[in-house]
Amino acid sequence: MDKLWAPWRMAYVGKGEEPADRGCFFCRAWRETGKERENLLLARSGDCLVMLNRYPYSNAHLLIAPSLHLGSLEEMPPEIGAQLWNLIVFAKTALARAISPHGFNIGVNQGRVAGAGVLDHLHIHVVPRWNGDVNFMPVLAEVKIIPQALEETWEKLAPHFQGLSPFERNPAE
């Protein structure tokens, strides 16, 4: 058997499951001002947020969610839906400027059978893609290679989300 070394992953493996009392990570990231880097939060904008996916499909995989703990698109107030869409467009533009991907996958997984990892807090995936980023590793070894540590990705992307007006507001309001 061949070995694939990824020692930086031990930080995630060693944590185990999130304690139940910590609650929804989207809601926690919204509330915890001053812990943006720790929560991988890139921006709060109006009633929405954008953060790095802690378990990405691809480098710089973003999650965009409303601040409201909503489980489905049907529950979304139209004004928050408009903010969410504007933030998706902004995030796609910011990623294009920061890391120059060749394309994007943007989507919503609703329901466990659709691949939703978080069932009760609606969120949108914005996944940058590059020519050649799908190689033999997922097919032969069921392994996806992420070429950059999350903290390094956060540092690279954070400046592109500064000054995110006109929707910016303090979540404590």
Q: What is the pLDDT tens value at each position of the chain, 173 positions in all?
A: 455 556 666 665 565 555 444 689 999 999 999 999 999 999 998 999 999 999 888 899 999 999 999 999 999 999 999 999 999 999 999 999 999 999 999 999 888 887 777 889 999 999 999 887 765 555 445 666 677 888 888 989 988 888 765 444 444 44
Is the model's pTM score more than 0.85?
no
- The CATH number of 16-161, from 3.40.47.10, 3.40.1360.10, 3.30.428.10, 3.30.450.40, is 3.30.428.10
**Active site members:** 123
Which of 77, 99, 101 is closest to 85 using CA atoms? Answer: 77
